A and B are shown apart, each in its own frame.
Chain A
Amino acid sequence: MEPVQPKGIKIILILSVTTILLSLIACKKSPENVGVPSIPIGLYASLTGAEASFGIDSLRAIQLATEEINNHGGILGRPIKLIVKDNQSKAGESSTIVRELISREHVVALLGEVASGRSLEGAAIAQKSGIPMIASGATNARVTQAGNFIFRTCFIDAFQGKIMAKFMNSLGIRRVAIMADISTDYSIGLAKSFAAAFSALGGQIVAQQNFSEGDKDFHAQLTALKGAKPEAIFLPTYYTYAPLIISQGRQIGLNIPFMGSDGWDSIEFLNIGSKAVEGTYFCGHFTTDNQDPTVQNFVKAYYQKYSATPSSLSALAYDSMKLLADAIGRAKSTEPTKIRGALEDTKNFPGVTGSITFDKDRNPKKPAVIIRIQNGKFTYLETLSL
């Protein structure tokens, strides 16, 4: 007869062996340049989940920037070590991984995020820990209000709302309906700033309908909007929802222009929306049509590495890494407080999304571009500033 081993003990044994193995793997140091310690910089992004395309675009551009910096001898003679964590596009994940980046990886600065909600999570922790953070595409005003350690490379929602109001006014549109996603700070903020600016210009918001994360069927809201007889619909949402809403709108016979914000700026928008999104407009941060050599070099390098054209979010993310490297160089130190000081003093930094100077709220001052969807492509229409 074999000795009987209770099942419970077996499980505990297996579990403890796995834990030990896992901790061994975790402790294993990756080989580095001997002698020169690298500068650890953390990136948190949505590499999987609903907004995966945003996160991947950012990651690619930041990897490109890192490579370029390291190939030119790094900063202060030290290479950058980029540590990347994925928040799966989920609310609540970012705070966990940002904590991990700060306490376990000892990063001196943070990059991220594209979404405002998730940037707010990271910003609160970065501010508390005294680690400077540069958000790339997070356009909600509250992000940099988290404190003096938080910066961004994009313009803010209030600005986008005002730009779109100005743009629609210039087209002679007087009656606009709004459809917003009430589960994101981004969409709510934009809808509000747009409504205020458009009313101030003498326009009329004839109806507003909302939806929340996960909704797929928008026929009910769109039918209600159609009843209010608008001349255009303002749709400040991400590319995951906008093309669905537009297609369903076309299906119920809403053949008026839809107007969006930088959240539309993804190739996925065109893939999902195909013919339905033709003749729609949005305001963005960046266009590859810009003939500035800085921009053209970036577009070329990006294309060589990834065989794809960079999106606005790639451009913003690229700027955030280059801006950070520039600040570390000027600070002549990797001390987080000194990096913060140097970031604040940034003057006319030549980024691919325009020249960056921070205002007192650590937001960059720069214009927006209006993009029109024509023949299945994003085409540059005009540059607008307030």
Chain B
Amino acid sequence: MELAQQLINGLSLGSIYALIALGYTMVYGVLRFINFAHGDVLMVGAFAGYYLAPKMQDIFGRWGTLPVGMAVLFSAMFICAILGVLIEFFAYRPLRKHARLTVLITSIGVSLLLEYGGQILFGVNVKPFPDLLPTIRVPLGLGLSVSSNHLVALGVSGILLLGLRCLVLYTKFGMAMRALSQNRDAAALMGVNINAVISLTFATGSALAGAGGILYALNVHSIDPLMGILPGIKAFVAAVLGGIGSLPGAALGGILLGMVESLIGGSAISSYRDAVAFGILILILILRPAGLLGKSTPEKV
């Protein structure tokens, strides 16, 4: 029974990882580098939610908590989308023609900038994240139950994942993005506006990170300027686990990682949770270097 309970916990944690992992994998798909600042965008999303929640309560409060929650979620996603576009424009675009390693190091720089800039701007102390929605236990029968926040995390992630899938498969932007990930020069020759697509990719990925930030903060009840580091790394692992560059892979990797973490976290070896999670990553990469759903391509480096 406890096992099933842990799997339910893991599914909700994993769905948040999946949301964040998508941002890594999308950027990797179009630009072929890992945006290490992605986890910190999540932190900015959570802080946006923290500061906006009282304001949204004033505006939408009279219609109940659901509109407030949704307003906070969407505004945090919007702020993160703008932040993502700005990061790309100022930090990565000038380096477009440089070696990928240069951009990678720059992304670590941006990450540190956000973390320590956040400490100056928001203060170093941990802040309590407001309960946007009333928290209740939803009984599932058989002695199992799930917290409403977990359900919200699962539901919102599910909807966003589906939305992203439609965006990528059935829209012009999605097609342009896929074209770009196959061959940037050829896509440019076919009239795809490379800069616009890259900006939009960052906007989409960062918006998902913003949503992830809100959901994560709702579940752990607190935020601080360094909160993005750990989920950022975990989501990166999830993206690699599922096969970096593959969107379904990122989702699968995230959910898998969340479940493994929950199972280990509730066992006798709980203190080795991260060690086991990363051990599994190493094992999978040895057996399937391209990740679970990744296509192995000949290395060009």
- Residues of chain A having any CB pair with chain B under 8 Å: 48-50, 52-53, 182, 209-212, 214-221, 223-224, 227, 240, 243-244, 247-248, 251-253, 268, 271-274, 276
In the bound complex, CA of A248 to CA of B128 (Å): 12
Q: Which residues from chain A contact B126 at a C-beta distance below 8 Å?
A: 50, 240, 244, 268, 272
| A48-B124 CB under 8 A given contacts A221-B266, A248-B221 | yes
- Is the CB of B195 closer than 8 A to any CB of chain A? no
The secondary-structure label for the interface of chain A is helix
A interface footprint on B251-274 (CB within 8 Å = 1, 0 otherwise) = 000000000011111110011011
Q: Which residues from chain A contact B150 at a C-beta distance below 8 Å?
A: 219
Say yes or no: A221 contacts B270, CB within 8 Å: yes
Say yes or no: B221 contacts A219, CB within 8 Å: no
Say yes or no: A220 contacts B222, CB within 8 Å: no
Say yes or no: B125 contacts A268, CB within 8 Å: yes
In the bound complex, CA of A266 to CA of B150 (Å): 29
Nearest CB of A to B90, in Å: 23
- Is the CB of B229 closer than 8 A to any CB of chain A? yes
In the bound complex, CA of A328 to CA of B98 (Å): 63
Nearest CB of A to B272, in Å: 9
| A272-B262 CB under 8 A given contacts A214-B230, A220-B270, A223-B5 | no
Q: List 23 A-B contacts (CB under 8 A).
A: A52-B124, A209-B270, A211-B270, A211-B271, A216-B230, A219-B262, A220-B6, A220-B262, A220-B264, A224-B2, A227-B2, A244-B220, A244-B222, A248-B221, A251-B147, A252-B137, A252-B147, A253-B137, A253-B145, A268-B125, A271-B128, A272-B126, A272-B128
**Cβ 8 A contact of A272, one of B222, B263, B271:** B222
Q: Which residues from chain A contact B9 at a C-beta distance below 8 Å?
A: 219-220, 223
Q: What 7 A-B pairs are tightest by C-beta distance, nearest first? A: A220-B265, A224-B266, A210-B271, A220-B266, A216-B220, A247-B221, A220-B262
| A49-B124 CB under 8 A given contacts A212-B271, A220-B265 | yes
Say yes or no: A272 contacts B220, CB within 8 Å: no
In the bound complex, CA of A151 to CA of B93 (Å): 57
Which residues from 142 to 158 on chain B have a C-beta closer than 8 Å to any C-beta of chain A? Answer: 145, 147, 149-150
| A217-B271 CB under 8 A given contacts A252-B147, A271-B128 | no
Say yes or no: A216 contacts B2, CB within 8 Å: no
In the bound complex, CA of A243 to CA of B127 (Å): 11
Q: Which residue of chain B has the shortest Cβ distance to A210 in the bound complex?
A: B271
| A251-B270 CB under 8 A given contacts A221-B265, A244-B220, A268-B125 | no
| A251-B125 CB under 8 A given contacts A223-B2, A244-B221, A244-B222 | no
- Residues of chain B having any CB pair with chain A under 8 Å: 1-2, 5-6, 9-10, 13, 119, 124-128, 135, 137, 145, 147, 149-150, 216, 219-222, 227, 229-231, 261-267, 270-271, 273-274
Nearest CB of A to B235, in Å: 13
Q: Which residues from chain A contact B2 at a C-beta distance below 8 Å?
A: 223-224, 227
Say yes or no: A52 contacts B125, CB within 8 Å: yes
In the bound complex, CA of A50 to CA of B1 (Å): 36
Say yes or no: A214 contacts B229, CB within 8 Å: yes
Nearest CB of A to B291, in Å: 24
Q: Which residues from chain B contact A221 at a C-beta distance below 8 Å?
A: 265-266, 270
Say yes or no: B271 contacts A216, CB within 8 Å: no
Q: Which residues from chain B contact A49 at a C-beta distance below 8 Å?
A: 124
Say yes or no: A53 contacts B135, CB within 8 Å: no
Say yes or no: A217 contacts B13, CB within 8 Å: yes
**Cβ 8 A contact of B6, one of A48, A223, A271, A272:** A223
Say yes or no: B125 contacts A53, CB within 8 Å: yes
Q: Which residues from chain B contact A251 at a C-beta distance below 8 Å?
A: 135, 137, 147, 149
In the bound complex, CA of A221 to CA of B216 (Å): 17
Q: Which residue of chain B has the shortest Cβ distance to A52 in the bound complex?
A: B124
Q: Which residues from chain B contact A209 at a C-beta distance below 8 Å?
A: 266, 270
Q: Which residues from chain B contact A217 at a C-beta distance below 8 Å?
A: 13, 219-220
Q: Which residues from chain A contact B145 at a C-beta distance below 8 Å?
A: 253
In the bound complex, CA of A273 to CA of B145 (Å): 23
In the bound complex, CA of A272 to CA of B221 (Å): 8
In the bound complex, CA of A210 to CA of B220 (Å): 17
In the bound complex, CA of A126 to CA of B260 (Å): 45
In the bound complex, CA of A218 to CA of B150 (Å): 13
Nearest CB of A to B47, in Å: 15
Say yes or no: B127 contacts A272, CB within 8 Å: yes
Q: Which residues from chain B contact A224 at a C-beta distance below 8 Å?
A: 2, 6, 265-267, 270
Q: Which residue of chain A has the shortest Cβ distance to B274 in the bound complex?
A: A212
Q: Which residues from chain B contact A212 at a C-beta distance below 8 Å?
A: 271, 274
In the bound complex, CA of A182 to CA of B137 (Å): 30
